Amino acid sequence: MRCRFLVSGLPFLIPLWGHSNLISARLDMLKERIEERDAEIKKLKAERRDANAKGEPVPPALRQRIAVLEAEWDAETQSQEQSVADIHATMTLIELIRAIRKVTAEASEDGIPMVIRKKGIPEVSGRESTRFELTDSVVQMSRFYVSLDRPEIERERDEFLNRILYQNGYIPITLAPLSLEERRAGADAMAAMLLGELGAQEAQNLIEGRKTLEELGLQERIQEVARKSIGRPLERAALTPSGREILLELNAQ
C-alpha cells in the first residue's frame, strides 16, 4: 500500500486520509475494550485473593476466566500498539507525498499528473471530534473505497442514528422495513445532513437527548432527506420515550 500511494501521488491522499480515520476508530475501540478487560481482571483477581485469604479453594471457573481475559487483554494491547505504529506510518506517508509533490512542482511546470491544482495541496490535520463523526467519516469513505469497509463500524454509526430517531419519535433506521441498500442510503444521507447542519458537538447533544430535532428546527429537514434517499418519509414509532422513568401499578377496584 505504501508503494502504491508514493507512486500514485497526491490524488490518493483522499483514501489515505480515510485509512488514517479507520485506524483512529479502531484505536478508540481497542482502548475501550482494554479498559473493560482490565477492570474485570482486577475484580476477579480480588475475588481470588479473598478466597486465598480465607483458605478456600479458588473455583476452576474463576481461574479459567482470568486466564481468558488476560490472553484477550494481551492480544488487544498488541493490536493497539500495532495500530499506533500504523497511524504514525500513515501520517509520515502523507507528509512524504506532500514533500514529493512540492519538490516536483518546483522542478517542473507541470509536475506529477494529478487531479488537484498545484496550489491546492491539502493540509491534513487532526482535531477533537465525536465518535459519531469519526465512525460516519469511515463509513462514508468506505462507499468509495471498499478496503475501508468495516461492518462493526457501520453498525456503531447506525446505532447513533437509532438513538436520535427513537428519542425523537421515529422508528430506528435499523428496525425500519428497508432493504440493505435503502437503509444504507438513508443512514448515510441523514448522518451527513445532521453533521453538516449541526456540527459534531451539537449532533452529540441530539444523541444524548439534550436537544430534540424539533428544538433545532430539523424535523421537516430530516423527513425531506428521508424522502430523497429512501423514497418515503420516516415512520413514526407507536411508543415514544418521555425522558422519564415509568412505574406501572395495579390499582384495586
| CATH T-level assignment (fold) for domain 2-116 | Helix Hairpins (1.10.287)
Percent of the chain at pLDDT > 90 equals 61
* Segment 111-125 mean pLDDT: 49
Mean pLDDT of 17-41: 92
Who wins on pLDDT, 242 or 178? 178
Q: Which of 100-104, 219-223, 233-237 has the highest mean pLDDT?
A: 219-223
DSSP label at 192?
Answer: H
Distance CA 53, CA 237 (A): 55
- Grid cell listed for 8: 500514485
Domain extents in the chain: 2-116, 131-230
Overall pTM surpassing 0.85 (yes/no): no
Residue 243 has pLDDT above 90, yes or no: no
Contact 130, 208 (CB under 8 A): no
Angle ∠(198,219,221) on CA atoms, nearest 5 = 65
Beta-ladder partners of 170: 236
